Structure formats: C-alpha cells, structure tokens
C-alpha cells in the first residue's frame, strides 16, 4: 500500500478551501481495482455512510485527483442541503464534473508532476494484449 504524499494532502486542502467545505470530509483512498469494478466507478460519495472513496491504483495523480475533486464537490453539495441524485447529466453531476476539471487545470499549473505515472508495483500488469476491431472482448 502506497502512502499519501505531501502533494496529495496539499491538493485535498486546496479543494476543501476552494469549495468552502465546512465539515471534515471522511476520505478513503484505495488501490483496490476490484472495488472500482464492483461499484463501476473510480470513486464515489456515500451520503448514507458519509464517506468518499477514490481509487488511486495505477493511475496518474491527475486522474485520481480529478475523481477526488468531483466527490468533494458532492460533499459540499450535501453540506448545502442539495439532494444527491447522481443521475448522469443532472445539474449536480454537471457541477461536480465542471468544478473538478477546473481544480485539476489550476492545480496542474502549480504541480506538473501530477501528470507523471508513479512507479509500477510489480503486481500490476504493465502491458495489455492489443484488441483487434474484430474482437468481441
């Protein structure tokens, strides 16, 4: 299991400040790709259990940071009393997508290392078999 870096913590604090989050978010960052597959998502906010989960896994920081920022927007939306519907294309989802993208662009100008893929764990596959257009899988 990889540790959370100082840069990761700085990004989280930046998002919290930009969003004006009033309560301390309960954030779980994991490397379990099976959990992402099970939930069919790279991250989610569970308003019932009141936590955010994000797959860090084998992703460039910019990728999982964007997912985290998206879920932090949902955290703030809940703080504001907005009803979490999660429907694709809803106003809440569109706001979370847009704000997360802006945060990433701004943060990327501060820290270009977020676009560099971390060193791979030996357990992670690095190459996939190429798929042909005829392939059904």
Give the global pTM.
0.82
In sequence order, which residues have a C-beta less than 8 Å from that of residue 8 and are 6 or more positions away? 29, 61, 65
pLDDT per residue rounded down to tens, the chain (137 residues):
467 888 999 999 999 999 999 999 999 999 999 999 999 999 999 888 999 999 998 899 999 999 999 999 999 999 999 987 777 888 999 999 999 999 999 999 999 999 998 775 545 444 445 555 554 54
Q: What is the dihedral of CA 82, 84, 89, 95, to 10 degrees?
A: 50
Tokens of 12: 């989280």
Nearest to 71 by CA among 46, 107, 49: 46
Q: Are 60 and 74 in contact (CB under 8 A)?
A: no
Choices 3.10.620, 3.30.2010, 3.30.1400, 1.10.10: CATH for 6-115:
3.30.2010
């Amino acid at each position: 299991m990889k540790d959370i870096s100082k840069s990761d913590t700085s990004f989280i604090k930046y998002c919290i400040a930009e969003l004006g989050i009033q309560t301390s978010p309960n954030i779980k960052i994991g490397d379990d790709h099976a959990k992402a597959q099970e939930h069919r998502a790279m991250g989610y906010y569970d308003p019932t259990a009141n936590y955010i989960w994000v797959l860090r896994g084998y992703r460039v920081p910019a990728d999982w940071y964007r997912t985290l920022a998206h879920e932090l927007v949902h955290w703030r939306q809940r703080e504001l009393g907005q009803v979490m519907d999660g429907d694709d294309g809803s106003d809440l989802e569109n706001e979370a997508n847009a704000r997360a993208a802006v945060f990433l662009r701004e943060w990327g100008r501060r820290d270009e290392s977020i676009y560099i893929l971390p060193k791979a764990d030996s357990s992670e596959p690095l190459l996939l078999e190429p798929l042909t257009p005829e392939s059904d899988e």
